[in-house]
Structure 1
Amino acid sequence: MMQKYEALKMRLKDMAPVAVAFSGGVDSTFLLKAAHDALGDDACAITVEAPYIATWELDEANMLTESMGVQHIHLSLAIPESITHNPENRCYLCKTAVFTAIKQTAAERGFKTVVDGSNADDLQDYRPGMQALKELGVESPMLAVGLTKQEIRTLSKMLKLPTWDKPPYACLLTRLPYQTEVVTDVLRRIEKSEKYLMDKGIRAVRVRTHGDLARIEANSSELPKLLLPETMRAVNEALIAFGFKHVTLDLAGYRMGSFNETLTEMKPLSEQDS
């Protein structure tokens, strides 16, 4: 694991100067820390601000870069026209638009290479956005050196990064069924609902939407606190106040990208590329 970490820093030195696509999640925070330690001012963070990104996550990203003393560039983008109805290849189209803008901004600021936080485990999941990164020449150094998610969490803890045990998070578009119009008010409704649940101590949670119905996914370990009668009443009242008409709990629990279960032809990226 430590050999991989040293290999990561050496790889980053070969790419300098480097701009890290930074969301404030586990992976990008660890990558930014490694880049800053290896390169100093030859590393920066670029964070995209868009309607489908939770504002609390942007706030956390700001706090993290301030604590590291890293140059932080903010890039404000609208919802790309190509994804306004949440197509099945949304991630590919979105990554293409977003990383095209990131690369342009990085070049204008004098940063030669754009890197992202993909890791070795991402090859085992449905990640069509990774194809866009390859086409645009975005580097994934943690994937290249074989760092897994668990190794990144372990190293993050060793480096005293506050994100070491942060639950996975994804853009708010993943809460909408495919072929659904993307409406900013609905995205804010989802964001408020998830933040409310997180503030209740339910950390790994998703609020998927089906029209006016909210489908809550939570880890099985967190179900006992969610199923307390007083909590259920409070959650129901809060989410209805945010704009939902019906609130339900998914008995299958939280799982990453559950709307992908509706896709009929889905392969891991490693198979798609073969």
Structure 2
Amino acid sequence: MGSVVIAFSGGVDSALLAVVAHRVLGSNALAVTAISPALAARDLGDAEQVADQFGINHRVIRTAELEREGYVANTPMRCYFCKTELYDQLGVVAADEDIAWIANGANTDDLGDYRPGMTAATEHNVRSPMVEAQIDKAQVREAARWLGVPLWDKPAQPCLSSRIPYGTPVTIESLGRIEEAEDALRELGLREVRARHHDRLCRVEVGENEMDLAFERRAEIVSRLKALGYLWVSLDLSGLRSGSLNDVLRTTETASGAS
């Protein structure tokens, strides 16, 4: 590729990509982390840790997806508007630095879910090297561990707006409450968590292996989340499911097919 801007979110996928790009291209690789109210502070910290550890050329920029009406409206196309904002800005960085390509950390496991952000990537000629190399999530983690990337076993952490049901507007206030809720849950010992934001209700999802712990600490969970302003707190017995708010889309499609 010669030179590349890496969209570096602070997750294991983009961390692996940033490390490998740095090893191959050196100063011709630039990892860029875009911060906004939708990025948890802990993810920025993780990105900075990896960049420092490996000596990666790293830059932080601010994106303004909350100024895009299509994003704030939170339709099922929300991710498209988010990634459009990101890739617009990364395109400016690449042009200013005379860098040939923009790349993201998508792997082959990302191809099976509903991901309108991939459409934005295609429109901006963004490459996905791990998809091109037919690497899946398990292989990403294996390679990251082998290279000493400290995030190799970090749970998937989509942007905070993915916790808000479609049709409910995305606001700075709701994103802040979600981040505080998930920080509180982690402080109670839970590792794989989602705080699904349903107005005054917080629907907590945890990994199957942490369900017993969540029940044990349910009084503390309720106390901590109610202190953040939630009126009701529930624990989803189905456990953590990445993209669970897309269930409504599948239900709608099934109902449409039946009719």
Q: State the TM bucket, normalised to the shorter chain.
A: over 0.9
Q: Tell whether the 8 Å contact from 2:63 to 2:85 is kept in structure 1 after alignment.
A: no
Task: Report the equivalent of 2:164.
Answer: 176
SS in 2 for 1:87: coil
Q: Deviations over 1:244-273 (max 9, x none)?
A: 11111011110011110001249xxxxxxx
**2:187 aligned with 1:187, yes or no?**
no
- TM-score scaled by structure 2? 0.93
The letter for the 2-side match of 1:118 is: A
Task: Report the equivalent of 2:197.
Answer: 209
| TM-superposed deviation, 1:224 | 1.1
Task: Report the equivalent of 2:14.
Answer: 28
Which of 50, 70, 76 pairs up with 2:36?
Answer: 50
Distance across 2 between alignment mates of 1:64 and 1:192? 24
Which of 53, 68, 79 pairs up with 2:54?
Answer: 68
**2:227 aligned with 1:247, yes or no?**
no
Q: Deviations over 1:57-97 (max 9, x none)?
A: 11211111111111111111221332112111111121112
SS in 1 for 2:227: helix
Pairing 1:1-274 to 2, within 5 Å after superposition: 15-78=1-64, 79=66, 80-228=68-216, 231-263=217-249, 264-265=252-253
| TM-superposed deviation, 1:200 | 2.1
Unaligned runs of 5+ in 1: 1-14, 267-274
SS in 2 for 1:19: strand
- TM-score scaled by structure 1? 0.88
Task: Report the equivalent of 1:7.
Answer: none
Distance across 2 between alignment mates of 1:183 and 1:195? 19
| TM-superposed deviation, 1:234 | 1.1
SS in 2 for 1:167: coil
Distance across 1 between alignment mates of 2:2 and 2:196? 40
| TM-superposed deviation, 1:197 | 1.1
Unaligned runs of 5+ in 2: 255-259
Name the Cα RMSD after superposition: 1.2
| TM-superposed deviation, 1:187 | 0.8
Distance across 1 between alignment mates of 2:119 and 2:173? 30
Distance across 2 between alignment mates of 1:265 and 1:172? 25
Task: Report the equivalent of 1:3.
Answer: none
SS in 2 for 1:104: helix
The letter for the 2-side match of 1:207 is: A
The letter for the 2-side match of 1:213 is: L
| TM-superposed deviation, 1:241 | 1.0
Identity level (%): 39
Q: Deviations over 1:112-164 (max 9, x none)?
A: 21100011111111112111101110011110010111011111111111111
Q: Tell whether the 8 Å contact from 2:84 to 2:120 is kept in structure 1 after alignment.
A: yes
State the number of aligned residues.
250
Distance across 2 between alignment mates of 1:111 and 1:100? 14
